[in-house]
Amino acid sequence: MQQNNSHNNRRSFLKTSILGAAVSVAAPAQLLHAAAAVPKKRIQLKKGSVVLFQGDSITDAGRNRNSKDANNTGALGSGYAFMAASDLLAKAADKSLTFYNRGISGNKVHQLAARWQDDCIALKPDVLSIMIGVNDHWHKLNGAYNGTIETYINDYRKLLQDTRQALPNVQLIIGEPFGVKGIKAVDDKWYPEFDAFRAGARSMAQEFDAVFVPYQKVFDDAQKTAPGVYWTYDGVHPTIAGARLMANAWLEAVK
């Protein structure tokens, strides 16, 4: 019993640390370190599963928004969502999987919420993958938005609460917003505040029992073998190689 209490206390401590630090620009390093101790989980893809990718331009990846078809090359874009979907459609052909991409360039969390009924709930996904947060910070820096880290957390939480209410059995994957520092768009002005947005996404994964994909670490590790400009055009949007990195990391979240 004492061992169980210790385990429960540790889980409680981690969750408290995550939720408390996510809204503090001063604490993202401690938060990310604490959350790194959380065991990885994986999503179980069942026969006939519907998978929906949601997010901003990184997910959009130039998709044809006029096409609403599932498993369609143009509709899935040219980025990580297309790469991950094509891998699984080939390797798990017996599962009859369905993939949609509804990412839209420039979106922030509140813009996802504005189109959520049509672009998420109505599709009835079994697996919902969301990557959002770069624009919630970036657009503050260029004067196009005045949201805060608290806005991001509150909007994200409300979106996920509404999703759970409408789709109680949906399995969630949350991708970490990332930035490759020193390449065009991403400079010193991004930090330390952007780290709080990264931490906020991780805290939402914890709170809503989602699988978390740590894209920042993926790109940090990749720079040990090739410079950042090999993996991303501007510090935010991935090259072909960067999109492949993201797809590989996303595929680690499913089985």
pLDDT one-digit tens code per residue, 200-253: 999 999 999 999 999 999 999 999 999 999 999 999 999 999 999 999 999 999
CATH domain 41-251 topology: Rossmann fold (3.40.50)
More confident residue, 8 or 181: 181
Other beta carbons within 10 Å of 131: 25
pLDDT of 131 above 70: yes
pLDDT in tens, 83-102: 999 999 999 999 999 999 99
**Which pTM does this prediction carry?**
0.85
Lowest mean pLDDT, pick from 21-35, 64-78, 180-194: 21-35
pLDDT of 29 above 60: no
Token code pair at residue 81: 């969502």
Cβ(235)–Cβ(184) below 8 Å: yes
**Among candidate residues 115, 83, 87, the one with its CA nearest the CA of residue 102:** 115
Q: Where are the alpha helices (DSSP H) in the chain?
A: 2-21, 28-35, 57-60, 73-76, 80-91, 109-114, 116-119, 134-141, 149-166, 193-207, 215-222, 228-231, 240-251
The reported pLDDT for the residue numbered 54 is 98
pLDDT of 35 above 80: no
The amino acid that residue 241 corresponds to is A
**Among candidate residues 180, 59, 239, the one with its CA nearest the CA of residue 131:** 59
Angle at 137 between CA 132 and CA 143, to 5 degrees: 130
